[in-house]
Copies of this chain bind each other. A is one copy, B any other.
Amino acid sequence: MHPSPPSLTPFFSPKGIAVIGASNNPVKLGYGLARNLVQSNYQGMVHFVNPRGGSLLGRPLYASIAEVPDPLDLAIIIVPAAAVPEGLRQCGLRGLRAAIIASGGFRETGAEGAALEAECLEIAAEYGMRLLGPNCIGLLDTHLPLDATFLPPPGPLPGDVAFISHSGAICAAVIDWARGQGFGLSRLVSLGNQSDVNETDVLAAVAADPFTRVLTLYLEGVSDGRRFIAEAGRVARHKPVIALKVGRYASGQRAVASHTGALAGQESAFNAAFRRAGVIRADTSEEMFDWARALAWCPPPPGRDMAVLTNAGGPGVTAADALEANGLRLARLGEATLARLRALLPPAASLSNPIDMLASATPEQYASGLEILLTDAKVSGVLVILPPPPMHTAGAVAKALIPVIHNATKPVIIALMGERLIQEAVEHFRAARVPEYRFPERAASALAILAQRAEFLQREQAIPDRCCQVDTEAAQALLAGFASNPTGPASGILPPDVALCLMEAYQIPVPPSGLVHSPQEAVALAQRLGYPVALKIVSADISHKSDIGGVLLNLNGDESVTRGFTAVMQNARDAHPQAEIAGVHVQPMLLEGQDVIIGAVQDAQFGPLVMFGSGGIEVEGLKDVAFALAPLTREEASYLIDETWAGRKLRGYRNIPAGDREAVVAALLRLAQLAADFPQLAEIEINPLRVLPENGGVLALDVRARLDGD
């Protein structure tokens, strides 16, 4: 839309701001905005515009923005919707390049409002302006500082966590809740209707803030899937990005022709996209901010082996459960660690992780115990459990722990159990930026996210390689030929032979076979393919071929093939004298192996999506499948395999021999490349893909493909 979109800088570091619609009436949002701007100690110029004139908060009310003196680079418009386009035009004429439209009454109210919104967008384009909103509560930056929202004070405390939201109401609630929870925000952006600036646009601008250590997103969708992945992926390499994506169950039903299409809902696509970009997906708001604090404040753990330090057995067991439930392990402590702990603690203490120091544990024992655990190379991080110690205050324990935690290069998370008896400890930990949670379960979940983040950072950046040795031109020609064929079925389903040729073009192996017309040809081909072989009559007029003796299996020599050719031809002619017979198919007997499904669909939001899993006809019932974006990296292909039982089984299971996993990876990469190269392939699915025992390769036994109807 913008050939070269003007920068977002004026939104995040404006030199001068004008509020169009600033009001003297304290119940009006135009008053709230003016008040917040002034009270937030924003150091730039703040001007108010209202045609009624007069003054507000000791400043003049200009009749129009034309009169506002320089410097001025950001307007905030809070007038009735109908008056917004004219206000915006005045901003354009004044030379502004950025405006926040806080007013509501646009697309969210129906067709009339949508027309107004379109008008605003046209005006913005005309003057090269960027728009935030309309129908948003604005933005704020606690460090600049700047509060360009109309929310009642107090605003958030300064902090490390940025929040970008599609919902204004959630912004208001989060600001209030975060303050009560004692954690701060760095920047907050309410996106409103996103007539121009959307969630993807602001990502880099928000991440550029040196005070922001973690980005949190409340998303109702994304505007452009692939661009979001690219932007979020760039940001997530440097700062953690956590998203709460809502609207899971709102996705409509689409017409699909494959298992892959039926299973690839919007949520699978979002999960695949978030994984590709390194965005952490939270399921609830609390989880998002629980994780954000840990990610903002803790170093990454070197592994998944955690220690639990407690003064009571019960919460220790709960913590051990929660660690395991979150995919972490209880570290096995080294001998030196055990010896030091033994010297530190009473004989009745339990030294096998969780370490139960008993109710008598002193602040000094907590601190020394933690230090000992952190020194152990086998410990990746520590969960400290702190119910109010009967003999000491939790505050004293906190004070003793904090220096140890600040010196540590591994994460320490606190489960601070209780409420009133732990208030002093809560305040110490919050001031020291040590994450504390009321229950071991939430603490364990935060520790797991730290491990996940550390592993993401260790992973090579996901840059899919183009598969070499694929014949894109041949595939292009096949699809073009089919698309231009006016007799093709309306459903868009490709004929099986065309689908097989696509496989050949992308070097996904299919069972070798050939059509022969004489016993001599049959024998020659059988010799080339290798014995044993199967013969099958080929005729469009004969449907149940095996019932009439039209199929022979397991022929193991020239003589059998010669006799067999004659027999299937004769059987076919006897049973269907009128049938037109195209010849006889010769195929080597298929080797036994494991059958899986691989498929790809085009997602409306994120483009091609690849699926892997348990095949057969029960795919949709078993739901043993995983998704990733195409094209794939090798790491992603491995992930798809490891996520599913079908994939884990390829390592071998009971009397099922291991399959050729590498060949599956190759087939996944090639199918993904095919789907990425040809967006007109709405769905393509290999079911089953037979995986032969190790080094045996794979064979696409059945391929279905559908071209887009357009």
Query: A: which residues have CB within 8 A of B?
Result: 27, 29, 104, 108-110, 151-152, 154, 165-170, 172-173, 176-181, 218, 220, 244, 246-250, 283-286, 311-315, 317-318, 320-322, 324-325, 348, 359, 387-388, 390-391, 417-422, 438-439, 441-442, 614, 617-618, 621-624, 645, 648-649, 653-656
Contacts and interface: CB of A to CB of B under 8 A. Distances in A.
Given A419-B180, A649-B618, A172 B284 contact: no
Contacts of A655: 617
A603 to B, nearest CB: 20
A249 B177 contact: no
Contacts of A314: 165-170, 218, 220, 246
A532 B367 CA distance: 79
A109 to B, nearest CB: 4
A313 B218 CA distance: 13
A422 B174 CA distance: 12
Contacts of A151: 390
Contacts of A390: 29, 151-152, 172
Nearest to A621: B645
B176 A284 contact: no
Nearest to A441: B284
A110 B348 contact: yes
Nearest 9 CB-CB pairings of A with B: A167-B314, A180-B419, A169-B312, A176-B418, A173-B417, A284-B441, A249-B324, A109-B348, A173-B387
Contacts of A27: 391
Contact of A648 (B152, B621, B653): B621
Contacts of A359: 104, 169
A653 to B, nearest CB: 6
Contacts of A421: 152, 176
Contacts of A312: 167-170
A621 B622 CA distance: 12
A348 B654 contact: no
A151 B418 CA distance: 13
Contacts of A317: 167, 220, 246-247, 250
Given A169-B314, A172-B418, 17 more contacts: A151-B390, A165-B314, A167-B312, A169-B312, A170-B314, A170-B318, A170-B387, A173-B387, A173-B418, A176-B419, A177-B419, A220-B317, A246-B314, A284-B322, A284-B441, A286-B438, A621-B645
Contact of A311 (B169, B315, B325): B169
A617 B181 CA distance: 51
Contacts of A653: 617-618, 621
A107 to B, nearest CB: 11
Contacts of A418: 172-173, 176-177, 180
15 contacts: A108-B313, A169-B417, A170-B387, A173-B417, A178-B419, A218-B314, A220-B317, A249-B321, A283-B441, A286-B439, A286-B442, A614-B622, A618-B649, A618-B653, A622-B624
A244 B109 CA distance: 47
Interface-centre pick from A108, A421, A645 (highest chain B CB count, 10 A): A421
A425 to B, nearest CB: 12
- Indicate the member of A110, A173, A320, A648 with the most B CB atoms within 10 Å: A173
B439 A179 contact: no
A284 B321 CA distance: 10
Nearest to A248: B321
A219 to B, nearest CB: 10
A108 B348 contact: yes
A279 B363 CA distance: 39
A286 B437 CA distance: 11
B649 A177 contact: no
A681 B555 CA distance: 49
Which of A348, A655, A656 has the most B CB atoms < 10 Å from its CB?
A348
A169 B177 CA distance: 29
Contact of A173 (B167, B388, B614): B388
Contacts of A320: 249-250
